[in-house]
Structure 1
């Protein structure tokens, strides 16, 4: 275990599975001992809690069932965290959905809106609630400041979706997360809150594994110079880096972790 995050309180959305779950494990491995985790699925959320307590007997975990697309849920989750732990120092807004990989001409408005509600509105509402807390609290240290927020975007927040996998709504939503991160990142940096984005490529989550043999995914995977999917641990480690004082001069940036996909 390292102590990179040992002096603060963590808050992670979408922590019941995938990248969010592994970010919770990485936060704990790097010193967080007060951690709020949220997810819409209470069973998955409890599984993350159980594993955290199995690995770290001294950790205090606050599980919160939450739909990040519902304003009242978001505000309640942040309030419960502050009521329990007094502050929020490291926030990771990870919860998101992929939506159907459809081109614009084939996408109903309802499907488009669902992706935007979770991936854009949800991230914005979480960040807004976190900022309202962080801007009022005292800094942990000069390098850490009043807090760090990491918004999980995607490599598709930096490039367009592939012709073979036309995830138009997803790519548009992740570009919006980048715009939010860059703008609020610059606006809040003078007040000691760092906001950055994490942009994963194709990662070996259970959901992606179920699609790797699909006709539209095979050519996508062949574009990765490293020749493999990313591991959830690798994305979680990047989230730890962005949250930690090691990234204290990073503001309004997008850290791309994609095995070289977007460089080709």
Structure 2
């Protein structure tokens, strides 16, 4: 399906995983201006984007998403470079320890919350402030002043199973969905669409690092379609949420988990 996306995209965690493949999906749908944010190099993402479309323009930001000043500065520089901000994807996140509340160290829980929740709020706040300053991208009733997608998780909807005690992670992703709904309600009438996506198990570097082989296989068989998601499938879902095809979706959480949460 073609969404014919135009405008400027800002993506955190763009150097790998879902952020990286979201950039590819947006480029395939027509986006040509990108602000790519990651604490690590985005070299591969940049080179692949240029293969998809040699005329892409890219602004790179090497920063920690918990640095509020750096985030605000990156939004300002994005707008200075491209004139506006149309599509924001708040994707950067970590898994944290697989431990229950009686076992998890305070510093690990705090770190997960800082990156997965507080940083999403910091990014979203800066994005909203910019989007409020700009007009709709087109005159269409489907158009908006900006669209934001926050990457949550199926563990933002259900508790993780006993064999995957991702307490801090699940707490942080539940909070992301709450943030998404709260701000979606506050800013929908001002022309800003905010939604979330809740992926299931995706074959990202983060999942491979966090879960052992036996855990991955045990969870795979619980998925009704009996496989993990490929990263590009989630990127396509995010592109859809940003598109005019999803113009009536506000405060929604798009679940892409192969049916895991309906079992």
Question: Shorter-chain TM-score: which interval?
Answer: over 0.9
1:181 aligns with 180
What secondary structure does 2:226 align onto? coil
The offset of 1:226, in angstroms, is 0.6
1:228 aligns with 227
Q: Distance in 2 between matches of 1:179 and 1:48?
A: 30
Cα shift readout 1:80-110 (whole Å, capped 9, x = no counterpart): 1011001100100000001011100111110
Cα shift readout 1:158-215 (whole Å, capped 9, x = no counterpart): 0011111010000000000000000000110000000000100000113324566533
The aligned length equals 261
Are residue 11 (structure 1) and residue 10 (structure 2) matched? yes
Task: Find 1:133's aligned residue among 130, 135, 143.
Answer: 130
Are residue 122 (structure 1) and residue 123 (structure 2) matched? no
For structure 1, which runs of at least 5 residues remain unmatched after alignment?
Answer: none
For structure 2, which runs of at least 5 residues remain unmatched after alignment?
Answer: none
The offset of 1:55, in angstroms, is 2.2
In terms of mean alpha carbon deviation, does 51-60 or 172-181 score higher? 51-60
Mapped contact 1:230–1:259 kept (Cα < 8 A): yes
2:100 aligns with 103
Under a length normalisation based on structure 1, what TM-score does the superposition of the two structures give? 0.96
Q: Distance in 1 between matches of 2:174 and 2:207?
A: 21
User: What is the root-mean-square deviation in Å for CA atoms of aligned residues?
Assistant: 1.3
Task: Find 1:74's aligned residue among 71, 94, 115.
Answer: 71
Q: Distance in 2 between matches of 1:3 and 1:244?
A: 6
The offset of 1:245, in angstroms, is 0.8
2:237 aligns with 238
Mapped contact 2:177–2:196 kept (Cα < 8 A): yes
What secondary structure does 2:249 align onto? coil
Under a length normalisation based on structure 2, what TM-score does the superposition of the two structures give? 0.96
